[in-house]
């Protein structure tokens, strides 16, 4: 006989599963799948592709820790007729200190004029997390991947996957952030060149835009994000829907190099400074909107 506790746990599990599936279905509907061509890959072949781009993501994630870059963030609320009703701006340089930690130097941050919604802690975390590298390497095994087929964008032939967390965290109990959406993987180098999705979980009063992120090859080896774009409706349970537009530009990537100097008193001093960017022929990237 099923006990009351067991029944309650089963009901909760089913509700959570339905909620994840409903959210996944709603998100999938925003993607344009018309150009995706069904491709017959065996499960071992699919697993091989997933393992390859997961390994690459780990490499890129670690490599980015050695790079300084410039970031320009513009988040706008749109009113009737697409008129801008409020704006949040943040321009900054993200540099590497001698101890390896990252420091953000704010260059421009006027007072936000947003009124339809606010920028919260999770939004800032997403800027540095799922909105930069969709799949955090330490969480790869917590994702479910669905292979959709192949799509040609410009000169690139790309594998297309839908991605979602296997278990959606409870936003009331967990601060963990995950990516949910779609990724495009180059079929030659087996690395992610484009993503589209958002950070999850969402709460009753916390909604996040679907962001499209384009990457470019930096220093001839790393695919780093260079442009993010969103134009989406935030649907709240107890408030009117809000139209949001996001543009984020990443530029001036420079790899930091630590020099060790020994002073007269035998004190060791480390200095971190950017290295010169080698000349390289950039690989083609999908066109931006």
Q: Where are the domains of the chain?
A: 19-274
Q: What is the pLDDT of residue 287?
A: 64
Give the mean model confidence (pLDDT) for residues 230-258: 89
Q: Is 258 left (phi over 0), alpha (psi -120 to 50) or beta?
A: beta
Measured CA to CA in angstroms, residue 196 lies from 59, 226, 231, 237 at distances of 21, 14, 12, 24
The tens digit of pLDDT for each residue in 61-89 reads 899 999 999 999 999 999 988 999 999 99
Q: Is 70 exceeded by the pLDDT of residue 288?
A: no
Average pLDDT, the chain: 82
pLDDT band for position 1 (50/70/90)? Answer: very low
Q: What is the pLDDT of residue 27?
A: 58
Scan for tokens 């970031």, then name that residue. Answer: 71
C-alpha angle 217-222-228 in degrees, rounded to nearest 5: 60
Percentage of the chain exceeding pLDDT 70: 76
Cα separation, 135 vs 195, whole angstroms? 10
pLDDT band for position 112 (50/70/90)? Answer: very high
Q: What is the pLDDT of residue 81?
A: 87
Give the mean model confidence (pLDDT) for residues 22-46: 80
Q: What is the pLDDT of residue 275?
A: 53
Count of beta carbons in the 10 Å neighbourhood of residue 248: 21
């Amino acid at each position: 006989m099923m006990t009351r506790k067991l029944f309650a746990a089963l009901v909760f599990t089913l509700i959570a599963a339905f909620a994840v599936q409903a959210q996944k279905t709603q998100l999938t509907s925003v993607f344009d799948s018309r150009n995706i061509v069904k491709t017959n890959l065996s499960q071992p072949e699919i697993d091989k592709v997933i393992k390859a781009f997961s390994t690459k993501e780990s490499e890129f994630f670690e490599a980015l820790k050695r790079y300084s870059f410039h970031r320009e963030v513009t988040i706008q609320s749109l009113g009737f007729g697409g008129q801008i009703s409020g704006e949040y701006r943040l321009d900054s340089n993200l540099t590497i200190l001698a101890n390896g930690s990252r420091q953000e130097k704010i260059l421009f941050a006027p007072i936000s004029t947003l009124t339809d919604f606010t920028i919260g802690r999770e939004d800032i975390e997403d800027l540095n997390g799922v909105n930069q590298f969709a799949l955090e390497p330490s969480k790869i095994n917590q994702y479910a991947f669905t292979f959709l087929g192949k799509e040609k964008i410009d000169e690139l032939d790309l594998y297309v996957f839908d991605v979602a967390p296997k278990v959606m965290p409870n936003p009331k109990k967990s601060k963990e952030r995950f990516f949910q959406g779609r990724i495009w993987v180059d079929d030659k180098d087996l690395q992610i060149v484009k993503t589209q999705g958002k950070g999850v979980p969402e709460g009753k009063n916390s909604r996040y835009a679907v962001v499209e992120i384009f990457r470019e090859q930096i220093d001839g080896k790393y695919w780093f994000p260079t442009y993010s774009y969103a134009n989406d409706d935030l649907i709240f349970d107890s408030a009117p829907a809000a139209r949001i537009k996001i543009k984020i530009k990443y530029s001036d990537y420079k790899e930091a190099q630590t020099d060790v100097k020994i002073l007269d008193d035998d004190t060791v001093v480390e200095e971190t400074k950017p290295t010169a960017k080698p000349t390289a022929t950039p690989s083609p990237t999908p066109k931006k909107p």
